[in-house]
Structure 1
Amino acid sequence: MKKIWFLSIILASYFGFSQVVKEPITDYSGKELKNGILLDVRTPEEFQEGHLDRALNINWYDSDFAEQIQRLDKEKTIYVYCKLGGRSAKASKVLDSLGFKNVVDLTGGYDTFKTAKEKRE
């Protein structure tokens, strides 16, 4: 009985307190950055081809990715995006596991944001 109770607490804390939220990148306006950090986890080459205003680039593929993101303020909301959404989802999980309080995975990626912007113009 004690094992079941202990396992229940562990599972509840693991699944119940996750701070990663998923939001479509097309809903992102930039106003959210008043108390947040915008993190682009694409390669430097991808970043140079275009990125969201005020984005900080930390390459997901860098061997010291986890060390680099540890320098960010854990109390601020971290908005994460990549090219299509795969790397940002993985990076969001790493941020959450390292104790970041609020992580927003901007789903769809930069390509989706760029396409939506072009359609509006």
Structure 2
Amino acid sequence: MSDAEWEFVRPLLPHAETGRKRLDDRMVLNEIVWKFRTGSAWRDVPERFGSWATLHTRFRRWAADGTFDRMLRAAQAKADAAGAADWMVSVDSTIVRAHQHAAGARKGAPMAFVKPR
């Protein structure tokens, strides 16, 4: 992670005021990015990155408290302000599937015998 990227992300991370000394947030974020870029399992993260359990715990905490959502919104706002964001979205309904039970039919009843509500 470059210094400019870190300066953008750093204020968006939660700050721990108490407790024991934690692994550096920049290092942890770099390691989380490495894990997802490579597609590795948490347990396969190289030992030089520290304990895989620590990385996984920090990832889960940041995901649960909205840290990654804040990062995404801030990056989108920055790109939008710079005119670098294209907001056109298209959903192709041929690939959007509903589960068969989502149609609302009663289970086991033939269609001719379903009573109107």
Bin for the TM-score computed over the shorter chain: under 0.3
As a proportion of its length, which structure holds more helix? 2
Q: Which has the larger radius of gyration?
A: 2
Higher relative contact order (CA 8 A, sep 6+): 1
Query: What is the TM-score of this pair, normalised by structure 2?
Result: 0.28
As a proportion of its length, which structure holds more strand? 1
Query: What is the TM-score of this pair, normalised by structure 1?
Result: 0.27
